[in-house]
């Protein structure tokens, strides 16, 4: 804080004293007026400097941003929760999503890549209609249990509403708008409330105390990796399950046909070792290591192109899982 000191009244005046009772002015009055004017001028200068500094500070300060209309209404402040899943679409499209939950805060997350997973952009999660359509306050779905992309703009997902009932939702404009479709959900998925396996025909019991990973093969065939290491198989939509082999510590798996499958296994020396089967899961052979330091929770693709990854990035293999590398620039 700046302080301005004026003249002391006890100083000797250089001019003759003034008789203030008569109003006659002398040299001392003129000096006092000059000093007063200087003090006023100095105060005005200081005020101007402060004003300029404050103005510049206001101009450089960031503006407060109101929530945009594009923010998902009803979404939780918590981060996404649940299983992470990768699914390969047509061409270079890869879908990545978090399940969400019907009982935990956090919700799902949906992303899509157009360049084999080099970059992802987030899709708006569908909202639940309330009989009169979707509005600004409509809640978002609680979970995503399956997702299929036929193009970078066209997606179909299976998602759980507020009562944890699974519906199909479709978009053809990159997630800007979603439509809830009628009819049954014809997808294999893990129930977001109970953790049980559901086939296109309905709930089914693969014989696991806890399901570690699910690998659909077709509408009627699937493989389930039990947390204890047993691999279970069905070819009739889940009516009957049989043991197909054993493979422990499986984080994710994909089958490209009824006999050929790939699984990401956490083992010493490599937390994401790829194992391969060519006999439906009865026997498994170790292949390449995706990345030594991390367990990969997502695996998808075809025999020609496998995609493995997690919430940060992915790696690709074009030789059946032997060697892995990041996506190249396109």
Kindly state whether residues 129 and 30 are assigned to the same domain.
Answer: no
Q: Is residue 222 part of a domain?
A: yes
Q: Is residue 24 part of a domain?
A: yes
Q: Report pLDDT for 69.
A: 29
322 Cβ neighbours under 8 A, 6+ residues apart = 287, 288
Q: Is residue 193 part of a domain?
A: no
Q: Total domain count for the chain?
A: 3
pLDDT along the chain (330 residues), means of 10: 38 34 41 53 47 34 28 47 94 95 92 95 84 66 95 96 93 92 92 95 95 96 96 97 96 96 97 98 97 95 96 95 88
Kindly state whether residues 277 and 313 are assigned to the same domain.
Answer: yes
Kindly state whether residues 222 and 291 are assigned to the same domain.
Answer: yes
Q: Report pLDDT for 109.
A: 96
Kindly state whether residues 230 and 298 are assigned to the same domain.
Answer: yes
Q: Report pLDDT for 318.
A: 96
Q: Is residue 326 part of a domain?
A: no
Q: Report pLDDT for 17.
A: 32
Q: Is residue 325 part of a domain?
A: no
Q: 283 — phi, psi (to 5°)?
A: -130, 150
Residue range of the domain that includes 151: 84-181
Kindly state whether residues 228 and 302 are assigned to the same domain.
Answer: yes
Kindly state whether residues 216 and 312 are assigned to the same domain.
Answer: yes
Kindly state whether residues 124 and 48 are assigned to the same domain.
Answer: no
Q: Report pLDDT for 65.
A: 27
Q: Report pLDDT for 139.
A: 84
Kindly state whether residues 222 and 306 are assigned to the same domain.
Answer: yes
Q: Is residue 172 part of a domain?
A: yes
CATH number at residue 268: 2.120.10.30
Kindly state whether residues 177 and 245 are assigned to the same domain.
Answer: no
Out of 6, 29, 64, a domain closes at 64
Q: Is residue 230 part of a domain?
A: yes
Q: Report pLDDT for 278.
A: 98
Classify 74 as helix, strand or coil: coil
Kindly state whether residues 225 and 265 are assigned to the same domain.
Answer: yes
298 Cβ neighbours under 8 A, 6+ residues apart = 84, 85, 86, 96, 252, 307, 308, 309, 310, 314
- According to DSSP, the residues that pair with 157 across neighbouring strands are 147, 169
Q: Is residue 115 part of a domain?
A: yes
Q: Report pLDDT for 133.
A: 56
Task: Give the long-range contacts of residues 175-183, CB within 8 A, separation 24 or more.
Answer: 175/110, 175/123, 175/124, 176/124, 178/124, 178/126, 178/127, 178/134, 180/126, 180/129, 181/156
């Amino acid at each position: 804080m700046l302080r301005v000191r004026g003249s002391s009244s006890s100083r000797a005046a250089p001019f003759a004293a003034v008789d203030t009772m008569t109003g006659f002015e002398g040299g001392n009055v003129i000096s006092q007026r000059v000093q007063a004017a200087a003090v006023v001028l100095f105060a005005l200068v200081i005020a101007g400097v402060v004003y300029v500094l404050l103005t510049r500070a206001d101009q450089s300060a960031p503006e407060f941003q109101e929530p945009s209309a594009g923010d998902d209404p009803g979404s939780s402040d918590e981060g996404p929760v649940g299983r992470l899943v990768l699914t390969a679409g047509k061409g270079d499209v890869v879908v990545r999503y978090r399940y969400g939950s019907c009982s935990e805060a956090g919700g799902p997350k949906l992303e899509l890549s157009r360049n084999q997973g080099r970059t992802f952009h987030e899709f708006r999660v569908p909202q639940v209609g309330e009989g009169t359509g979707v509005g600004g306050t409509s809640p978002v779905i609680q979970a995503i249990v399956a997702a299929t992309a036929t193009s970078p703009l066209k997606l179909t997902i299976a998602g759980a509403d507020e009562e944890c009932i699974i519906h199909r939702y479709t978009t053809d404009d990159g997630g800007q708008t979603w439509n809830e479709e009628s009819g049954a959900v014809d997808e294999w998925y893990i129930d977001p409330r109970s953790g049980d396996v559901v086939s296109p025909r309905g709930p089914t019991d693969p014989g696991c105390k806890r399901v570690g990973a699910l690998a659909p093969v077709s509408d009627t065939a699937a493989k389930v990796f039990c947390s204890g290491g047993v691999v279970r198989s069905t070819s009739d939509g889940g009516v009957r399950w049989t043991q197909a082999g054993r493979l422990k510590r499986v984080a994710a798996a994909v089958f490209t046909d009824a006999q050929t499958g790939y699984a990401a296994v956490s083992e010493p020396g490599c937390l994401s070792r790829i194992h391969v089967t060519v006999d439906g899961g009865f026997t498994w052979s170790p292949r390449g290591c995706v990345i030594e330091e991390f367990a990969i929770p997502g695996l998808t693709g075809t025999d020609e192109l496998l995609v493995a990854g997690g919430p940060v990035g992915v790696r690709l293999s074009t030789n059946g899982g032997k060697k892995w590398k990041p996506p190249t620039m396109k």
